[in-house]
Amino acid sequence: MTAFRTTASLALILCLVGPAAPARADDPLPSWDDGPSRGAIVAFVEAVTTEGSPDFVTPGDRIAVFDNDGTLWCERPVYVQAAFIADRVAAMVEAEPALADRPGFKAVLDRDFEALAGLGEAGIAELVAATHGGMTPEEFEAMARDWLATARHPRFGRPYTELTYQPMVELLDFLRSHGFSTFIVTGGGVEFVRNFAEPAYGIPTQQVVGSTIALRFEEQGDEPTIVREPRISFIDDGPGKPVGIQSHIGRRPILAVGNSDGDYEMLRWTTAGPGPRLGLIVHHTDADREYAYDRDSHVGRLDRALDEAPDRGWVVIDMKRDWESIFPGGSR
């Protein structure tokens, strides 16, 4: 108490004798425009954290879930993990040229998106399995980390991990400072995203839910080992997201943030629960600073969720209007 009182008194004295502090010096959301989206977020957090409020939620139930691609970081021109797969395919073909004839590998090498789409789910699964399976989690982690450290975004020329959305990083911090537990719920591979979730977003590995490769435990000699099998065991997208949330978290979130129809079921599941709920949709409206896309995009298509947002009470974040900066460092 003493320390608090001292600080408070000091602040009072400074107010009386010093110059006015900058208007938003201690603003927890400095990259957010002071408009309706920010207002909805702040009002929600205030409601659920004010003791005695009819909307008060105990800290244990303050669960917030965030999609990753297009919600926490840039997903254009292609998903970051797709770029990783493309580079991995190129490296594998360099080591073993005959692989270039396999349909999936060929489509990736040719950047032939139509052929890729034509592979169907089984073909994509085979591609992921070939590039992501048959190694230990430690080996995969080292490979993914090396790639993330060196790969650059084709338009912005920066590492992908620097193309996180600064307003979202602030929102995650803001929520955690109000007793929320923050989770990523991604269609991407869980062990890919876990490589950067902590440094980029402050989210530890155990709070990342995602698509999975089957794992197998075995003793190699006297060495206990986990092996990634060349087989996808769970797709954490669309209706998979509420399932992933229930399996992993075991509680219904009170706040969900997404940007595409792949997040529709997660938004539905979250906001249909009793008590105060908030659903947020990042709408990519800024072709100048980032990208502008929604209904017709092959990546991050946003159609049904956008249509239903008004009736469902979901807040649509207009990137161009609502975000004063996009990426960390404030350069854009």
Binding residues for its own copies restricted to 147-176, rule: CB under 8 A:
none
Binding mask 121-140 for its own copies (x = CB under 8 A): ----------------x---
Q: Name the 3-class secondary structure at 208.
A: strand
- What residues have CB less than 8 Å from 251, skipping those under 6 apart? 61, 63
Q: Which residues of 248-268 are buried (b: 16+ CB within 10 A; e: fewer)?
A: bbeebbbbbbbbbbbbbbbbb
CB of 267 to its own copies, least distance (A): 9
CA distances in angstroms from 86 to 8, 113, 154, listed in the order given = 56, 12, 13
d(CA 248, CA 58): 20
* Beta bridge pairs of residue 228: 135, 215
Residue 212 is a binding residue for its own copies (CB under 8 A): yes
Sign of the CA dihedral with 222 first, then 224, 230, and 233 last: positive
The smaller minimum CB distance to its own copies, of residues 155 and 216, is found at 216
Residue 204 is a binding residue for its own copies (CB under 8 A): yes
Of the candidates 87, 84, 85, 93, which has an alpha carbon nearest to the alpha carbon of residue 128?
85
**Which position has the token pair 């009793």?**
274
Residue 142 is a binding residue for its own copies (CB under 8 A): no
CB of 260 to its own copies, least distance (A): 17
Q: Binder to its own copies among 37, 68, 81, 181 (CB under 8 A)?
A: 181
Q: Which amino acid is at 266?
A: M
- Given the rule CB under 8 A, which of 38-46, 143-151, 213-221, 277-285 is the region that contacts its own copies? 213-221
Strands annotated E in the chain:
63-66, 181-189, 208-220, 223-234, 255-258, 278-285, 292-293, 315-318
- Given the rule CB under 8 A, which of 75-83, 163-171, 243-251, 277-285 is the region that contacts its own copies? 243-251
- Given the rule CB under 8 A, which of 67-75, 76-84, 165-173, 204-212 is the region that contacts its own copies? 204-212
CB of 191 to its own copies, least distance (A): 7
Total binding residues for its own copies by CB under 8 A?
41
Q: Name the 3-class secondary structure at 162.
A: helix
Q: Which amino acid is at 39?
A: G
CB-neighbour burial class of residue 293 (10 A; exposed 0-12, middle 13-18, buried 19+):
buried
The smaller minimum CB distance to its own copies, of residues 165 and 180, is found at 180
The smaller minimum CB distance to its own copies, of residues 26 and 223, is found at 223
The smaller minimum CB distance to its own copies, of residues 19 and 60, is found at 60
DSSP state of 323: B
- Given the rule CB under 8 A, which of 48-56, 155-163, 215-223, 313-321 is the region that contacts its own copies? 215-223
The smaller minimum CB distance to its own copies, of residues 22 and 274, is found at 274
CB of 17 to its own copies, least distance (A): 23
Binding residues for its own copies restricted to 246-265, rule: CB under 8 A:
246-251, 265
Residue 304 is a binding residue for its own copies (CB under 8 A): no
Residue 281 is a binding residue for its own copies (CB under 8 A): no
Residue numbers of the site for its own copies (CB under 8 A)? 1-3, 6, 60, 63, 137, 181, 183, 190-191, 194, 198, 204-208, 212, 215-219, 223-224, 226, 239-240, 242-243, 246-251, 265, 268-269, 272
